[in-house]
Structure 1
Amino acid sequence: MSPESRPPRGLVLVVEDEPAIADVVRLNLVKAGYGVHVQHDGAHALGDVRRLRPAAIILDVGLPGMDGIEICRALRADQDWTPVLFVTARDDEVDRIVGLELGADDYVTKPFSPRELVARVTGVLRRTQGTPETAPQTVGPLTIDTGRRRAYADDREFALTATEFDLLAYLMRRPGRVFSREQLLSEVWGYSSVAGTRTVDVHIAQLRAKLGEDSPIRTVRGVGYAAERSAAERR
């Protein structure tokens, strides 16, 4: 299937081996103003990403041949941080956590509401494409530049997914303030806690692993998370 002309909202690559589901997702994305390219075969999806440079990818986990997890792993290994939303027929927390740890930006299970899926895509793209130009923020050794979507400390720059960056930026814009998991889901992901606050924990763990000793994130037991200034910065 040839890609539709690119409207202002961008092109979405849908990688789904069930034609009926792919068609429903395509129709809803087109109705919302997106261009869509559908790929039913996982082995060809990587080539489509590199050729089409989509704004976002909706990726079925259970693809024949090369599955969605392998595709996401290959993209991130190539330093390709195109937003990825996993779709799976399994509502298993272990699978969900594995997907997020690989660098997925969101995760929905079948059966799902096509309108909700479109809303999730819109939410990710709104954050990544509509970031206002603000002065860089520094907490401890870490600096984020939201206009350029860069996170760095001294001469080190960190490769973050769209959602990891948005979560870090949200915390760092309000240093010292503690946010609950429910607040972070609502403000960063754009949906309620019914989706599961474990998503927040996994992304925090990923951020800490990537940032290492430069991470400003502090856990407030029983409450949530904060970006903590150093003692010298608080004086």
Structure 2
Amino acid sequence: MNILVVEDDADIGAMLSRGLSAEGFDVTVVGRADEALDTARQYNPCAVLLDIMLPDGSGIEVCRALRDAGHSGPILFLSAKDDVRDRAEGLGAGADDYVVKPFAFGELVARLRAHLLHRLGDAHAGRLLAGRLVLDLPTRTVLFGDIHVRLTEREAELLALLMANPNRPLPRGEIFDRLWASQGGASLNVVDVYVGYLRTKLAPVGRAGGPQVATVRGRGFMLDLAGAGPAH
């Protein structure tokens, strides 16, 4: 997914470029309002991270112009202005979120992914996408080329969580908290059991060169979009 970052602070722009690239995004960074509009028209980014105070104009006006031009992807403001009125103005201009500087990069990525998944779910009638892998939520069916694999409800929930964080290891504890903590009697090893189930179901996808559920030693499990890292 291509992300447009509009940020006139070179250090912040470079940090976002490095961090988002490591998360699997294609990133373009510009520092001016006119560059933002030109780049958006040329590349139609999946999402825009937009500073409000730009040297040649306001990010608020950029946001309005993008919406008027038909841009439907998520727009997240990044701003040091944290007054309630500033937030209201930003959201009223058509933004999906407003993140105050300084921000935690992990939180920013989580918000960005949540908005992208929401939009993708709307656009694809309940389908989640990660690379060429598709998860049809209503039928709990994995699609990869000509491969169709049916999952159980809990297997689908686990895969959806991994697809929301592609190429990023998720600790067992985080997975457990998200999927099993509310159920009495479950223990942490239930994560390993369902990872095993999911790997078995996705084996045909892996043999076709598609994504695999990989173990990252000491860090947890992740969906490896390259399909090169063996599940072990």
Q: Which residues in structure 2 correspond to 1:154-233 (within 5 Å)?
A: none
**8 Å contact from structure 2 (residues 6, 48) kept in 1:** yes
Residue 103 of structure 1 is matched in structure 2 by: 94
Select the residue among 18, 28, 39 that pairs with 2:19. 28
Q: Residues of 2 paired with 1:127 and 1:121: CA distance?
A: 10
Residue 45 of structure 1 is matched in structure 2 by: 36
Structure 1: 5+ residue stretches without partners: 1-9, 135-146, 148-235
Shift of 1:114: 1.3
Percentage of matched positions with identical amino acids: 42
Shift of 1:99: 0.6
**8 Å contact from structure 1 (residues 16, 38) kept in 2:** yes
**8 Å contact from structure 1 (residues 88, 109) kept in 2:** yes
Q: Deviations over 1:87-119 (max 9, x none)?
A: 111111101001111110001011001121111
Give the 3-state SS of the residue equivalent to 2:76 in structure 1.
strand
Q: Does 1:68 align with 2:59?
A: yes
Q: Residues of 2 paired with 1:86 and 1:112: CA distance?
A: 12
Q: Deviations over 1:180-219 (max 9, x none)?
A: xxxxxxxxxxxxxxxxxxxxxxxxxxxxxxxxxxxxxxxx
**8 Å contact from structure 1 (residues 28, 115) kept in 2:** no
Shift of 1:52: 0.7
**8 Å contact from structure 1 (residues 14, 39) kept in 2:** yes
Task: Count matched residues.
Answer: 126
Residue 133 of structure 1 is matched in structure 2 by: 125
**8 Å contact from structure 2 (residues 4, 48) kept in 1:** yes
Q: Does 1:54 align with 2:42?
A: no
Q: Residues of 1 paired with 2:58 and 2:105: CA distance?
A: 22
Q: Deviations over 1:57-89 (max 9, x none)?
A: 000001111221010111122232221000111
Q: Call closer, same or farther: CA 1:33–1:67 in 2, change over 3 Å.
A: same
**8 Å contact from structure 2 (residues 73, 116) kept in 1:** no
Q: Residues of 2 paired with 1:133 and 1:71: CA distance?
A: 29
Counterpart code for 1:92? D
Q: Residues of 2 paired with 1:76 and 1:129: CA distance?
A: 18
Q: Deviations over 1:28-57 (max 9, x none)?
A: 111111010000111211010010111000
Counterpart code for 1:26? S
**8 Å contact from structure 1 (residues 28, 118) kept in 2:** no
Q: Does 1:15 align with 2:11?
A: no
**8 Å contact from structure 1 (residues 55, 83) kept in 2:** yes
Q: Give the alignment's Cα RMSD to 1 decimal.
A: 1.6
Structure 2: 5+ residue stretches without partners: 127-137, 139-232
Q: Deviations over 1:152-200 (max 9, x none)?
A: xxxxxxxxxxxxxxxxxxxxxxxxxxxxxxxxxxxxxxxxxxxxxxxxx
Q: Residues of 2 paired with 1:133 and 1:24: CA distance?
A: 34
Q: Residues of 2 paired with 1:38 and 1:46: CA distance?
A: 12
Counterpart code for 2:34? A
Q: Does 1:86 align with 2:55?
A: no
Residue 68 of structure 2 is matched in structure 1 by: 77
Q: Residues of 2 paired with 1:114 and 1:26: CA distance?
A: 11
Shift of 1:133: 2.9
